[in-house]
Chain A
């Protein structure tokens, strides 16, 4: 059979991806295209049995380029059939890839089959050329694929999908899950996550765990420079709870929204501003007092007996010291004025959320002077050198052991909590008190160093007890024995301001009494000067520094006349006072470079000139008041200006 024009009658392809076989099953019956010659009509469609042949398979891409080629030496069976696996043959030298490297990417692939009917004198003829197509319908009970399975189209799986052997699953696109999702192991998300449903973290911790252990916390946020951001829809108000803290009973605290209106009606905010206002008033008074002190220092009052009055000059160092005091009080006033401004700017700038809690105080851990010491919440303790003890007698500060602070700072090292106690710094805290208590009473240590306090009415409080005030009771107790009352601590400045006002009032009353006494004393001196010779010289010899006679008193002046000389304060004296104030504050460790008053004085010459003018005007005003008072009292008043000098 020399005519080797042969054509395949049929072939069957089965893609089989099972077990150790990676390839395509190929079966074909080789039919002799040349008919069998017999008398009459020739017989066509004859098989070629028992014929050694060489099959050459080429897999071509859509462009007709060979992606893979192999050869099989095979012998047809008695029915002219061959049965082999494409992929198990001998790869030809022109094949660019191995069979396993063929990219079954869904594009058109063709199978070209060439046949040589001789395995010795190889001459290939075209056998078939067919597109490799997908099986329209395939029903499988089990599919075992050891290689890659690439599906370019949709895949509908109507039963569960198991990815076993710890094999990872990678999805480069979106994953949509309509039903519940259960993850039995760690979840790592390397990109942003958007969870639109409620998220509950309910770890299966068998025990509460060590609260100081990082591993005991169900939610941990780490990495980056920021922590947790909570954003609500729209603008915030007190109706928005950013974070709420629950226990099994109820809400124990929350961080909620706050608006400007809510801030302005916040009792704490109002209270703080009242305190600031008090401070401003007090500092303003202090400045006025300092100005008056300058007038006092820059004036001289002398009673001269005999032929005339004597005039003595004020002591320059006293004037400079008074001016320095004025500068420092002015600096303090600037601070006091600046502080509420900054406070309000801060509050309004940072308005947004407020933290609310059932607890009422801010506390810090403070070390015990005796680590074995035992304290109970509500005990009054003394703080000395930063250590707390039950001794309140010589303590620097008097504070209260907190029961349940809203914020607790200065956390001690792990395992050393027993050496510390939570001490309330500010806010409301229950305090152990002996005896009856009325709201508004000052709470002071009981004096027995047993942690209990006592209540003192504001009317009964003595200046010597000011330093012993622990706080002010905001609730009362009718018990004559021990009981707990709610005491606000850390806000003594306001109450001290009130007490200062009282003291101020008392001081003014006493000043008035002293002035009256001075007048009576002057009158007595005048009387004694008339009765006792050389009385004036004796008095002058006892005054020390103020002995320089600047100018003689006119002889026409009455002997009993009191002469008061007012010296005008000059700009240079103010500058000298400023320098003295800076020197004094530096010696006290105050950083003038960061002090708002002195910093502005240095950087803003206009402000400095304005301050000097204001100081001169203030002193002048005070001087005018004293001048008028002296004029009314009948004293001889002499004003010496710098020019007159």
Chain B
């Protein structure tokens, strides 16, 4: 119930931000994803390897009362992949999933160049925290020589809530255009409805670069 309320608030906020935002941006990058899995006996998967996959996102960002704090809303397509093998039993597993990622973030930007200066160029830095909800678009799982569709599978049939945190660096090209790069570490809440000790989380490391356009410029 709580997650539903949060999800509702997120949708509403995104809508408001979208219509009232001062900056929109486009980003792309690589995401290194992995499962943080523990079975019912408390054992982790051995030989679990993640993979770098592309992501692409678009978002809107607006300052909060002209303060260094900004809130943002971003829609992205995140692709996760991981593989694992069991040398004892001889099993091999591989996952490839693609999510629609709704991100609601807040960042604090410091060392930002002043707008009233004639020379708007310059770097700024920010710290960023995001609450994200991922929806599975498509996914497949390979078990040894068999491939299964993950649609409807327990862990993947519900939205995945994640929190992400990281840092970014912006470069103000002009007063209207900004290039940025960021690193975010993400970790999901528990996925699925497991009993006992079994639990699953995602962990992500994403590196992105993007280009933002300021829609409203105030002196």
B40 A39 Cβ-Cβ under 8 A = no
B40 A40 Cβ-Cβ under 8 A = no
A40 B86 Cβ-Cβ under 8 A = no
Provide the bound-state CA to CA distance between A49 and B88, in Å. 7
Provide the bound-state CA to CA distance between A40 and B80, in Å. 14
B54 at the interface (CB under 8 A from A): no
Give the residues from 184 to 206 in chain B that come closer than 8 angstroms, CB to CB, to chain A.
Answer: 198, 200
A36 at the interface (CB under 8 A from B): yes
A40 is contacted by which of B88, B144, B155 (Cβ under 8 Å)? B155
B150 A36 Cβ-Cβ under 8 A = no
B91 A39 Cβ-Cβ under 8 A = no
B89 is contacted by which of A2, A40, A41, A47 (Cβ under 8 Å)? A47
A108 at the interface (CB under 8 A from B): no
A37 at the interface (CB under 8 A from B): yes
A37 is contacted by which of B39, B144, B156 (Cβ under 8 Å)? B39
Chain A hits for B86, CB < 8 A: 36
A40 B39 Cβ-Cβ under 8 A = no
**Binary interface profile of B, 35-64, with partner A (CB < 8 Å = 1, else 0)?**
101011100010000000000000000000
* Chain B residue total in the interface (Cβ 8 A): 24
A613 at the interface (CB under 8 A from B): no
B89 A39 Cβ-Cβ under 8 A = no
B148 at the interface (CB under 8 A from A): yes
B98 at the interface (CB under 8 A from A): no
A40 B84 Cβ-Cβ under 8 A = no
B198 A40 Cβ-Cβ under 8 A = no
B84 A36 Cβ-Cβ under 8 A = no
B25 at the interface (CB under 8 A from A): no
Provide the bound-state CA to CA distance between A40 and B194, in Å. 12
B155 A46 Cβ-Cβ under 8 A = no
The interface residues of chain A, by DSSP majority, are classed as loop
A39 B41 Cβ-Cβ under 8 A = no
Which residue on A lies nearest to B202, using beta carbons? A39
Known: A41-B143, A41-B148, A43-B144. A36 touches B155 (CB 8 A): no
A46 B84 Cβ-Cβ under 8 A = no
Provide the bound-state CA to CA distance between A399 and B169, in Å. 163
A180 at the interface (CB under 8 A from B): no
B198 is contacted by which of A2, A37, A47 (Cβ under 8 Å)? A37
**Binary interface profile of A, 37-55, with partner B (CB < 8 Å = 1, else 0)?**
1111101001101000000
Provide the bound-state CA to CA distance between A441 and B198, in Å. 141
B153 at the interface (CB under 8 A from A): yes
B93 at the interface (CB under 8 A from A): yes
Which residue on A lies nearest to B196, using beta carbons? A37
Give the residues from 137 to 182 in chain B that come closer than 8 angstroms, CB to CB, to chain A.
Answer: 141, 143-144, 148, 150, 153, 155-156
Which of A36, A38, A40, A43 is packed against the most chain B CB atoms within 10 Å? A40
Which residue on A lies nearest to B84, using beta carbons? A38
Could you give 7 example pairs across A and B, Cβ below 8 Å? Answer: A36-B86, A36-B89, A37-B40, A39-B37, A39-B95, A40-B93, A49-B88
**Top 8 nearest A-B pairs by Cβ distance?**
A37-B39, A40-B141, A46-B89, A43-B91, A41-B148, A38-B93, A39-B35, A39-B200
**A-side interface residues toward B, CB under 8 Å?**
1-2, 36-41, 43, 46-47, 49
